[in-house]
A and B are shown apart, each in its own frame.
Chain A
């Protein structure tokens, strides 16, 4: 799809040092995002999707620590980059949209002041110039009365308006990559759709890429080019959305898709639970719950990501297209 990666993550490992033991939240994750590409990371609670993006942008706090691996943005290594340098990249090179807009907005500063802080951290421009640009950006994100929003404070905004404001703040410097962590979770569906459309339009206009973390497979199917499925701190499948949603190659992805309710179709349930992140099994992390385990290596070796078709990878010893004799569990 792309020749040059905008973001290249390699063998990233992030651990949390707790009283119970070491939680391997991110357990050897590799992927890349090309210029202008929209990539979704999906998975259930505790799969390490948020920890992955927080590691990339230097937001992991003790007792957590990135213990190994690399994340290169353009030509700069982000892991263990000095804070000041990283802060310069965040905002101008990489924009971040968190799940809770009210946590991202400062409750005691006016919205205008927050725009000023963001822009002036990177460029030296006058107050009136800041104002003009902020008003334009707020108009672009569909805020009906940008003058009033600029004068006001976060608590005066509805959830949808606050998230639009955060998007405006995170994109005002024209970042080449936007990293969004569940940006529409908790919003109503009609508002969710408006905001996702808006993000996509802005990204297209700026030729920017996005790394979108979500638990909602519908968001990925409708808005992303490529999807990364995570389970137990690892990437278990990745590829173009058309391939992964039509012909999932990993039993976990297949089960997740089957667990979305639709009328007249028997719902797939996944037996068992996610393995303990302190004591991951030696073999495949999905072994205990997998309806297709059959290869002797399943229990003893963690399967590597292998290409099942062009650009489509799965970390599994089971290959549904090759092993037609194995019946797909329903």
Chain B
């Protein structure tokens, strides 16, 4: 099967004041199959949100290629890209900030149809909006309400309804549940899972939360300073993490069970500035396991350590994983 989304060696640099350059994304190759959920996980400054915007064509890559459904969107003219946008949509983190407060719920959800399907009659448009509302289990009577009249969970459902109304194949979910309380979050995650199977959607799920990612994703890509450090099937990566950064992330995760205490891997310092990338491996300034002379001088490349499981590190000890998390055993 051909991948729905494909990134090939994508880089994105932003010039900033003082003649410096922010190296936000530094050579990412990634693919997403139809109906698949790929999670991008990483901390602030890892470039995960920039990558999401690149995939949607909201940023032009500085180099590299991005294809969606066989079309190269990295060089596509704006007008042509606009027609593709109905096929790939986005849900943002803060529903109250991403919904226009002056527009009614009905017009917010309808807007993509006005742009992408101008041939629809008002009646047909309304029918599509009502259908989208039903998909996210909101009632039709919210049609004439405004965002501030809704709870956080309802607002996020509106954001999701807007993302599915144009019948896309692919949605970028940028931390869609991070600002929600636990009880609301679980309902939204279940909704996203149901919509995926009903509407055959592929998701790029951007998150910093290991719990959420472990639940929603088929595959995971761990990002650090704009590079994918480790990538593979979620259960496999969590059970056998091979990159020291992934191990550190897993060991820093606070499991809600007083008896589960993974071994501790303490990272020193903080993530370097993206304007001054370290020489050698981008992670070597914080890596507790650097033991190879190349760490400080050479960028490691991704190598396949198990089928579909890729790692970018010189660290290669043949010992059992120190912090693997058996997801199903939890």
Chain A contacts to B: CB under 8 angstroms = 44-45, 144, 158, 160-161, 188-194, 197, 215-223, 241-242, 245-246, 255-264, 267-270, 273
Contact partners of A223 in chain B: CB under 8 A: 254
Closest to A252 in B: B183
CB pairs A–B below 8 angstroms (24 shown):
A44-B181, A44-B182, A44-B183, A45-B181, A158-B270, A161-B270, A188-B208, A188-B271, A189-B210, A190-B252, A190-B267, A193-B264, A194-B266, A216-B254, A221-B254, A242-B258, A262-B211, A262-B215, A262-B327, A263-B235, A264-B327, A269-B186, A269-B187, A269-B190
Q: Return B224 CB to nearest CB of chain A, in Å.
A: 11
Contact partners of B43 in chain A: CB under 8 A: 188-191
Contact of A256 among B183, B208, B327 (CB under 8 A): B183
Chain B residues 253 to 277 lying within 8 A of chain A, measured CB to CB, are 253-259, 261, 264, 266-267, 269-271
Counting residue pairs across A and B whose Cβ atoms lie within 8 Å, the total is: 113
Contact of B182 among A194, A215, A222, A262 (CB under 8 A): A215
Question: What DSSP secondary structure best describes chain A's contact surface?
Answer: helix
The 3 closest A-B pairs by CB, nearest first: A218-B254, A261-B215, A188-B43
Closest to B42 in A: A188
Contact partners of A194 in chain B: CB under 8 A: 266-267
Contact partners of B259 in chain A: CB under 8 A: 242, 246
Q: Is B2 an interface residue (CB 8 A)?
A: no
Closest to A258 in B: B186
Separation of A190 and B46 alpha carbons in the complex (Å): 13
Contact partners of A270 in chain B: CB under 8 A: 183, 186-187
Q: Is the CB of B44 within 8 A of A188?
A: yes
Known: A242-B258, A255-B183, A262-B215. A273 touches B151 (CB 8 A): yes
Q: Return B155 CB to nearest CB of chain A, in Å.
A: 14
Chain B contacts to A: CB under 8 angstroms = 43-44, 151, 181-183, 185-187, 189-190, 208, 210-212, 214-216, 234-235, 248-249, 251-259, 261, 264, 266-267, 269-271, 327-328, 330
Contact partners of A261 in chain B: CB under 8 A: 185-186, 189, 211-212, 214-216
Known: A189-B249, A190-B267. A263 touches B234 (CB 8 A): yes
Separation of A192 and B256 alpha carbons in the complex (Å): 15
Q: Is the CB of B328 within 8 A of A264?
A: yes
Contact of B215 among A245, A255, A263, A273 (CB under 8 A): A263
Contact partners of B257 in chain A: CB under 8 A: 221, 245
Closest to A142 in B: B268
Q: Is the CB of A190 within 8 A of B182?
A: no
Separation of A268 and B253 alpha carbons in the complex (Å): 21
Contact of B256 among A144, A158, A217 (CB under 8 A): A217
Closest to B235 in A: A263
Q: Return B92 CB to nearest CB of chain A, in Å.
A: 18
Residue of A258, A260, A273 with most partner-chain B CB within 10 A: A260
Contact partners of A161 in chain B: CB under 8 A: 270
Known: A158-B270, A261-B189. A267 touches B215 (CB 8 A): yes
Closest to B45 in A: A188
Known: A44-B182, A245-B257, A255-B183. A193 touches B252 (CB 8 A): yes
Q: Is the CB of A191 within 8 A of B270?
A: yes
Q: Is the CB of A256 within 8 A of B190?
A: no
Contact partners of A158 in chain B: CB under 8 A: 270
Q: Return A273 CB to nearest CB of chain B, in Å.
A: 7
Q: Is the CB of B181 within 8 A of A193?
A: no
Contact partners of A216 in chain B: CB under 8 A: 254
Contacts A189-B249, A194-B267, A269-B187 known; list 11 others, CB within 8 Å.
A190-B248, A190-B267, A193-B254, A218-B253, A218-B254, A218-B255, A221-B258, A242-B259, A255-B183, A261-B185, A263-B327
Separation of A144 and B182 alpha carbons in the complex (Å): 36
Q: Return B201 CB to nearest CB of chain A, in Å.
A: 19
Contact partners of B208 in chain A: CB under 8 A: 188-189
Q: Return B256 CB to nearest CB of chain A, in Å.
A: 4
Q: Is the CB of B215 within 8 A of A189?
A: no
Q: Is the CB of A263 within 8 A of B214?
A: yes
Separation of A256 and B256 alpha carbons in the complex (Å): 11
Closest to B327 in A: A263
Closest to A184 in B: B254
Closest to B152 in A: A45
Q: Is the CB of B186 within 8 A of A263?
A: no
Contact partners of A269 in chain B: CB under 8 A: 183, 186-187, 190
Separation of A29 and B128 alpha carbons in the complex (Å): 49
Closest to B234 in A: A263
Q: Is the CB of B270 within 8 A of A222?
A: no
Q: Is the CB of B181 within 8 A of A215?
A: yes
Closest to B266 in A: A194
Q: Is the CB of B183 within 8 A of A259?
A: yes
Q: Is the CB of A222 within 8 A of B183?
A: no
Q: Return B152 CB to nearest CB of chain A, in Å.
A: 8
